[in-house]
A and B are shown apart, each in its own frame.
Chain A
Amino acid sequence: MSQQYPALLVIVPLISALVISAAGWINKRLCFPIAVAALGVAAYSSIGLLLRVLDEGAIVYRLGGWDPPMGIAYYVDHLNGLVLAVVSVVAFLNLIASKKSIELELGDKTAPFYALYVLQVTGLLGIVATGDAFNLYVLLEITALSGYAMLAMGKDRAQLSTLNYLYMGTIGACFYLLGVGYLYIVTGSLNMVDIANILPSLYESNAVLGAFIICLVGVWVKMAFFPLHAWLPNAYTHGPSAASSLIAPLVTKVMIYVMIRLILTVFTPEFAFNILAISKPIVWLACIAIFMGAILALAERNLKKMLTYIIVAEVGYMVGGAWLGNRAGMTGAILHIVNDALMTLCAFLVVSNIAYKLKGYAFDDLKGLVRKMPFTMGAFVVAALSIIGVPPTCGFFSKWYLISGAIQAGQYAFMVALLFSSLVNVVLFFRVIEICYYEPFSDGHGHDQHAEPMAEAPLTMLVPLFIVAAGLVLVGIYTGDIVNKIIEFAIPQGIV
């Protein structure tokens, strides 16, 4: 059974997505249990897979028994084992937390939504698990298309902003495909390990250089790396809560994973860091991304949109960390994939809860929220602390590695950018906390004039939220284990 985990991980959700859309015709109530079962299996197998990788090392699974480079191989090592576990667990928790909100916001569209949801997760898991550069493109498009469809189900300007996302996303995917095409022309292979074996003799080739840069730009568009970020804030803000809280934590992080995979496996660190002398300018770009993300977030008066700009800044953290070219920076980037997925999930689940109970999530709607939804606010504070980077929450520890990497690489601008962003996050979150906590103004001696009764979100939304919030602290405390037992092996020995 455990031999089949890599396939189960992708096949089960894929088939379930089809089953769900069929089941929707019979009875809409069938969709949710099927989706839960599918993602439950995915989460279970991904964790099983990670444990196996920890025991035995990397696992190669040949789809249909075809040998690479002809057939498609799924290649799971410490790096994507970790990311797979994060993706599937986040998707599973979010599914359970979002049931009520999906029913409220989407009405008669719940059945297609569940199908798309599961399809999206299929795509994400496939992107992470695959060892084939072209297969990755296919799964990228599955993810993207299901994502567009889900986000476009939102209200107001959702369709327009999704259309914008569609244009940008398609351009990004095309770039990636073009890059893979160049690689195929040069190497005659699509298998990542195979390409990596053939490339070293071709490092001087302009085609390889072109392939790398084009792939990189394509992935940057997809991850909303500044200045290619403009599609993200609106698309994520206007989408349905359940779609935002799935896509926001996962898609950008999975794209970061793809970038790291390109650096570490396909093109090798030797090529990316030493032969191409582009680390420094990319880290500078990352600094600008962090500054701009932070400043744009400051200008927002809407909680959900503010969070989307924080994602833009966080993408800068990870790109910068990966391109510092040393072990600490790379560790920070990989660790931040895990941490940022959890942090963003926590923050967006809070937004879901608020959207479920209140009419909106603009700052003006949040007045007195502490009294109305104390538990949701409690989780929000934990998410805020983690995003700011206060120990012992996990956000602190990835920032620790990133800053360490910046110091070791002598890239002090990156350190300053990270600290600046932390300080801006303090302002951002305490501004929200202030509004939720102080307003409406009390009568000077603190006795409330308009004490509103508590109106908390249902337990099915609160419990997953609390699990995630607790996870932020637990992952922080067990950072040592995650780094020493998993990430340490995910990074090649060559990077010091």
Chain B
Amino acid sequence: METIISIKPLLAVLVSLLVTPILVSSRAPNVREAWTFVAAAAKFLIVLSMLPTILKGTEIVYTVAEFLPGAAIKFRVDALGMLFALVSSSLWIITSAYSIGYMRGLKEHSQTRYFVFFAFALSATVGVAFSANLLTMYLFYEMLSLATYPLVTHHQDPEARSSGRKYLLYIVGTSIGLALPAMLISYNLAGTLEFGRQGFLAGTASKPLIGLLLFMFLFGFAKAAIMPFHSWLPAAMVAPTPVSALLHAVAVVKVGVFSVVRVLTGVFGTDLLFSLDFGPVILLLASATILVGSFIALSQDGLKRLLAYSTIAQLSYIVLGVGLLSPKGLTGGMVHIAMHAFGKITLFFCAGAIFVATGKKNISEMVGIGRRMPVTMTAFFIASLSIIGMPPCGGFVSKWYLVLGSLEAHQMPILYVLLFSSLLNAAYFMPIVYRAFFCRPEEAMFENTVQEAPPFCVVPLVITAVISVILLFYPQPFFDLATMMVQTITGT
């Protein structure tokens, strides 16, 4: 694999950090938001400028400081990292616009703090995407946990406070208690932490120890919300909706699964997992999370909580794809990082728009809302199709590959899990849409006049919904990047 040295990955990480002093010191909100956009656009452009190089099959590396051989603060941009960085940096721009509409619409307090920590969080997210080794990934993973704490607890009331505690307990508790020792044990076994094409643990330890490490890593990155370490996610829904949208549908949770995917492919290696027969263990954990998460979602009345449980289930699709250990499964899992991001962020945007326009949080209070907010609810419908995995939306592509992967790996039970889960997804999303548009006049809770949320809220959700549809027809570059990564891993 050809590599070139360039400072661009570091710049992509730092650009949002460097702008925070300006955000803190700017007096006028408009100036502050303008700088957020500048940083977001700069970040996206830097990431985008690396795309052609990556698509050519070249990797970009940059070492900041090496403190032990094989354990440096080092960036390496490969296809998988590129995929994730593209998703998160492009959605930051859209979310920034949405944040303005939401935060100003609700006249929220401490908006400067909000935008500053958002910028921090994005730095950490791209840092995780571009990490060349476990140490760097752990560094940015922790940075993200701490940067999102003030966002989750934004409202500063007792509920936010207890949710913040739960959030920290789960996220930081598992990363220090499980991921950190697992990383150190791996380093002492292999003498390196550098992600390899087929990992670096092969041949260094006995099967029980590898199994133990596998569990420590899977649960140690609790942002992936694999059950039973999932309940921080619904609790974190006390955050303002743009935070839930970007962080708990795209950045935080995806950093979790991205870390899990990285560890499974770059630390253990698919061949090792296959030869030690750990695939079914991963599949079992992921399937259980998918099904239980979907069942719990069925019983939720709070719209954001429903979306949270749906996210928990959908995250495990990605883990499941890797657990299949087959090329198509891996591709499906990786592409799902992007597809789910665009779908789920739309749904969260819709939930926020409804809250801004009507103050309603519960599904039972949303009967007939389609007449009042037709644009929002149409976008909601499209995005839920994407999550269910139906055409004409991007979610179909990743689910299709996951199904192919389960056939390729001869895992018929997984096929049923995927199909049954899609039914469950439909069962919790479709009634919302149906009752929003089709209800008897006497049931309708809203008047028949169209009154949408502010344009800063509505335009972003329309954009992401449209992208969700476009992604079915043009899944490149995400699909190409995932395919490239899988080829690198499988060595074909």
A480 touches which of B66, B142, B153, B184 (Cβ 8 Å): B66
Mask, A238-252, CB within 8 Å of B = 1, is 000000000000000
Mask, B167-204, CB within 8 Å of A = 1, is 01000110011001100110110000000000000000
**B275 within 8 Å of A by Cβ?**
no
B296 to chain A, nearest CB (A): 27
Please, how many angstroms separate the alpha-carbon atoms of A388 and B176 in the complex? 9
**B110 within 8 Å of A by Cβ?**
yes
Assess whether A426 is in contact with B176, with CB atoms less than 8 Å apart: yes
Known: A423-B173, A441-B158, A446-B109. A397 touches B67 (CB 8 A): yes
Mask, A441-461, CB within 8 Å of B = 1, is 110111110000000000000
Please, how many angstroms separate the alpha-carbon atoms of A479 and B185 in the complex? 20
Q: What residues on B are CB-neighbors of A392 within 8 Å?
A: 73, 139
Assess whether A404 is in contact with B173, with CB atoms less than 8 Å apart: no
Assess whether B138 is in contact with A385, with CB atoms less than 8 Å apart: no
Assess whether B176 is in contact with A480, with CB atoms less than 8 Å apart: no
How many residues on the A side are at the interface (Cβ–Cβ under 8 A)? 33
B68 touches which of A415, A419, A441, A480 (Cβ 8 Å): A480
Assess whether A419 is in contact with B110, with CB atoms less than 8 Å apart: no
Assess whether B135 is in contact with A444, with CB atoms less than 8 Å apart: no
Of chain A, the residue at the smallest CB distance from B66 is A480
A476 to chain B, nearest CB (A): 9
Please, how many angstroms separate the alpha-carbon atoms of A81 and B55 in the complex? 51
Assess whether A479 is in contact with B67, with CB atoms less than 8 Å apart: yes
Q: Which residues in window 370-422 of A have CB below 8 A to B? A: 385, 388-392, 397, 400, 403-404, 407-408, 415, 419, 422
Assess whether A447 is in contact with B181, with CB atoms less than 8 Å apart: no
**A66 within 8 Å of B by Cβ?**
no
**A438 within 8 Å of B by Cβ?**
yes
**B154 within 8 Å of A by Cβ?**
yes
Q: What residues on B are CB-neighbors of A419 within 8 Å?
A: 176-177, 180-181
Known: A392-B139, A444-B157. A483 touches B110 (CB 8 A): no
**B459 within 8 Å of A by Cβ?**
no
Please, how many angstroms separate the alpha-carbon atoms of A437 and B135 in the complex? 30
B161 touches which of A397, A407, A415, A434 (Cβ 8 Å): A434
How many residues on the B side are at the interface (Cβ–Cβ under 8 A)? 38
Of chain B, the residue at the smallest CB distance from A403 is B184
Q: What residues on A are CB-neighbors of B67 within 8 Å?
A: 397, 479-480, 483
Please, how many angstroms separate the alpha-carbon atoms of A478 and B177 in the complex? 26
Q: What residues on B are CB-neighbors of A408 within 8 Å?
A: 188
Q: Which residues in window 313-327 of A have CB below 8 A to B? A: none
A496 to chain B, nearest CB (A): 14
Please, how many angstroms separate the alpha-carbon atoms of A281 and B344 in the complex? 55
Q: What residues on A are CB-neighbors of B146 within 8 Å?
A: 385, 390
Assess whether B156 is in contact with A442, with CB atoms less than 8 Å apart: yes
A-B pairs with CB below 8 Å: how many?
A: 85
Assess whether A442 is in contact with B73, with CB atoms less than 8 Å apart: no
**A284 within 8 Å of B by Cβ?**
no
Summarize B's interface: helix, strand, loop or mixed. helix
**B155 within 8 Å of A by Cβ?**
yes
**B4 within 8 Å of A by Cβ?**
no
Q: What residues on A are CB-neighbors of B187 within 8 Å?
A: 404
Q: Which one of B64, B67, B142 has the highest number of Cβ atoms from chain A below 10 Å of its Cβ? A: B67
**B28 within 8 Å of A by Cβ?**
no
A391 touches which of B109, B139, B177 (Cβ 8 Å): B139
**B365 within 8 Å of A by Cβ?**
no
Q: What residues on A are CB-neighbors of B177 within 8 Å?
A: 419, 423
A438 touches which of B68, B156, B172 (Cβ 8 Å): B156
Q: Which one of A385, A391, A480 has the highest number of Cβ atoms from chain B below 10 Å of its Cβ? A: A391
Q: What residues on B are CB-neighbors of A404 within 8 Å?
A: 184, 187-188
**A477 within 8 Å of B by Cβ?**
yes
**A271 within 8 Å of B by Cβ?**
no
**B65 within 8 Å of A by Cβ?**
yes
**B447 within 8 Å of A by Cβ?**
no
Assess whether B156 is in contact with A426, with CB atoms less than 8 Å apart: no
**B277 within 8 Å of A by Cβ?**
no
Please, how many angstroms separate the alpha-carbon atoms of A270 and B164 in the complex? 50
A94 to chain B, nearest CB (A): 27
**A430 within 8 Å of B by Cβ?**
yes
Of chain B, the residue at the smallest CB distance from A408 is B188
Q: What residues on A are CB-neighbors of B72 within 8 Å?
A: 480
Please, how many angstroms separate the alpha-carbon atoms of A389 and B183 in the complex? 14
Please, how many angstroms separate the alpha-carbon atoms of A415 and B181 in the complex? 8
B469 to chain A, nearest CB (A): 36
Q: What residues on A are CB-neighbors of B184 within 8 Å?
A: 400, 403-404, 407, 415
Please, how many angstroms separate the alpha-carbon atoms of A415 and B187 in the complex? 14
Q: What residues on B are CB-neighbors of A437 within 8 Å?
A: 150, 153, 156
B65 touches which of A434, A441, A477 (Cβ 8 Å): A477
Q: What residues on B are CB-neighbors of A385 within 8 Å?
A: 146
Q: What residues on A are CB-neighbors of B149 within 8 Å?
A: 430
Known: A422-B176, A426-B168, A446-B156. A391 touches B181 (CB 8 A): no
Q: What residues on A are CB-neighbors of B301 within 8 Å?
A: none
Please, how many angstroms separate the alpha-carbon atoms of A33 and B142 in the complex? 43
Please, how many angstroms separate the alpha-carbon atoms of A385 and B168 in the complex? 13
Of chain A, the residue at the smallest CB distance from B149 is A430
Please, how many angstroms separate the alpha-carbon atoms of A479 and B139 in the complex? 15
A376 to chain B, nearest CB (A): 16
A273 to chain B, nearest CB (A): 20
Assess whether B68 is in contact with A446, with CB atoms less than 8 Å apart: no
Please, how many angstroms separate the alpha-carbon atoms of A7 and B46 in the complex? 55
Assess whether A446 is in contact with B155, with CB atoms less than 8 Å apart: yes
A344 to chain B, nearest CB (A): 21
Q: What residues on A are CB-neighbors of B161 within 8 Å?
A: 434, 438
Known: A407-B184, A448-B109. A391 touches B168 (CB 8 A): no
Please, how many angstroms separate the alpha-carbon atoms of A404 and B149 in the complex? 29
Assess whether A446 is in contact with B139, with CB atoms less than 8 Å apart: no
A407 touches which of B68, B139, B154, B185 (Cβ 8 Å): B185
Assess whether A391 is in contact with B185, with CB atoms less than 8 Å apart: no
B173 touches which of A400, A426, A446, A447 (Cβ 8 Å): A426
Of chain A, the residue at the smallest CB distance from B159 is A444
Q: What residues on B are CB-neighbors of A391 within 8 Å?
A: 135, 138-139, 142
Of chain A, the residue at the smallest CB distance from B136 is A391
Q: What residues on A are CB-neighbors of B73 within 8 Å?
A: 392, 477
Please, how many angstroms separate the alpha-carbon atoms of A397 and B173 in the complex? 18
Q: What residues on B are CB-neighbors of A438 within 8 Å?
A: 153, 156, 161
Assess whether A446 is in contact with B154, with CB atoms less than 8 Å apart: yes
Of chain B, the residue at the smallest CB distance from A412 is B181
B241 to chain A, nearest CB (A): 14
Please, how many angstroms separate the alpha-carbon atoms of A272 and B149 in the complex? 46
Assess whether A390 is in contact with B164, with CB atoms less than 8 Å apart: no
Known: A391-B135, A391-B142, A426-B168. A446 touches B65 (CB 8 A): no
Known: A446-B109, A480-B67. A434 touches B181 (CB 8 A): no
Of chain B, the residue at the smallest CB distance from A443 is B157
Please, how many angstroms separate the alpha-carbon atoms of A407 and B188 in the complex? 8
Q: Which residues in window 466-484 of A have CB below 8 A to B? A: 477-480, 483
Assess whether A403 is in contact with B181, with CB atoms less than 8 Å apart: yes
Assess whether B157 is in contact with A446, with CB atoms less than 8 Å apart: yes
Question: Which 5 pairs, one residue from A and one from B, show the smallest C-beta to C-beta distance?
Answer: A480-B67, A391-B139, A446-B109, A479-B67, A442-B156
| Other A-B pairs, 18, CB within 8 Å; known A442-B155, A480-B68 | A390-B142, A403-B184, A419-B177, A419-B181, A423-B172, A423-B173, A434-B164, A434-B165, A438-B156, A441-B157, A444-B155, A446-B109, A446-B110, A448-B109, A477-B73, A478-B65, A480-B72, A483-B68
Residues of B within 8 A of A (CB): 64-68, 72-73, 108-110, 135, 138-139, 142-143, 146, 149-150, 153-158, 161, 164-165, 168, 172-173, 176-177, 180-181, 184-185, 187-188
- 28 A–B pairs (Cβ distance < 8 Å), ordered by A: A390-B143, A391-B138, A391-B139, A392-B73, A392-B139, A403-B180, A407-B185, A408-B188, A419-B177, A422-B176, A423-B177, A426-B176, A434-B161, A437-B156, A438-B153, A441-B156, A441-B157, A442-B155, A442-B157, A444-B157, A446-B109, A446-B156, A446-B157, A448-B109, A477-B65, A477-B73, A479-B67, A480-B67
